[in-house]
Amino acid sequence: MNIPAGKVDRLISLPFSKSVEISYKSLKVRFFRSMITVSSLVLAVSFLSFVLVNLDVAAGLLEHGGKDAARALLQAGYDVDAAQNMVTMSAKERWIVILSLLVCTVGIINAQLMSVTERFSEIGVMKCLGALDSMILRIFMLEAAMQGLAGASVGALLGGIVSLLTNIIRFGFNAIHDLSILSMLGSVGIATLAGCLLSLLGVLYPALLAARMEPINAIRAEH
């Protein structure tokens, strides 16, 4: 057996489409579990999106409503900087958003660790069949990316819609009328992006753990 030295890395391969297929199937099979993993992300991202869209609405109101709007906003609990004509998040609110995102990340790490443990033998078998560490890592990252994208976009939309509804109730239809659509889309986008990043961040450690595992330990773990 003469392994052509330079060629070896190219000899073992997993096309990207195939990795996507494997990840997608794993998610589909464990649909309920994936849903629960994603649900914490949905909640955290929708909260972020809710807060950001609230700010956009407030900014719109302030811009068009002048002094009256500023008073109404102050009453509603916003930090209004009258001199610069700007509305900002209160410090407390900021902390709650950050905390909720942190808690969500820890939750994702926990869920993904469980998912990796559950699949120890599967990972071991793949390695026995010739899978490289990087392939295992890629499969887990792809799964997390899909979960992240789905969960974060649902969460961001949900948060945005809830925010619009509450603002309509609070300030009437002026809230929507004065709202800059662009900045609202921006806020929803930021929330989605943040959710995806958190999901990837949360899977990093469990996926590395899975990828580095020796196949023999992985197969033994089942017994």
Partner 1 sequence: MSEEKRTIVRVIGVTKTFTMGKVELQALKGVDLEIFAGEYVSIMGPSGSGKSTLFNMIGGLDKPTDGKVFIDEVDISQLDAFELAWLRNRKIGYIFQTFNLIPVMTALENVTLPMTFAGMNADDAQDKGIELLKLVGLGDRFQHKPLELSGGQQQRVAVARSLANDPSIILADEPTGNLDLSTGEEIIELLQMLSVERGVTIISATHDYKMLNVSDRVVWVRDGQVDRVERREELDITVGGIGDKLAGRTNGEEKA
Q: Which is nearer to partner 1, 3 or 91 (CB)?
A: 3
Tell the smallest beta-carbon distance from residue 1 to partner 1 (Å).
4
Which residues of the shown chain bind partner 1 in the complex (CB under 8 A)? 1, 3, 8-15, 18, 22, 25-26, 29, 121-122, 124-133, 135, 214-216, 219, 222-223
Residue 129 main-chain phi, psi, to 5 deg:
-85, 0
Residue 132 — left, alpha, or beta (φ > 0 → left; ψ -120 to 50 → alpha)?
beta
Q: Which is nearer to partner 1, 72 or 131 (CB)?
A: 131
Q: Residue 175 and residue 168: Cα distance in Å, rounded?
A: 6
Q: Which is nearer to partner 1, 191 or 219 (CB)?
A: 219
Tell the smallest beta-carbon distance from residue 205 to partner 1 (Å).
20
Q: Which is nearer to partner 1, 99 or 128 (CB)?
A: 128
Tell the smallest beta-carbon distance from residue 153 to partner 1 (Å).
25
DSSP state of 6: G
Q: Which is nearer to partner 1, 119 or 148 (CB)?
A: 119
Check: CB of residue 65 under 8 Å from CB of residue 178. Answer: yes
Residue 222 main-chain phi, psi, to 5 deg:
-70, -35
Q: Residue 112 and residue 118: Cα distance in Å, rounded?
A: 10
Tell the smallest beta-carbon distance from residue 3 to partner 1 (Å).
5
Tell the smallest beta-carbon distance from residue 41 to partner 1 (Å).
22
Q: Residue 159 and residue 172: Cα distance in Å, rounded?
A: 19
What is the CA angle 92-70-79, rounded to 5? 15
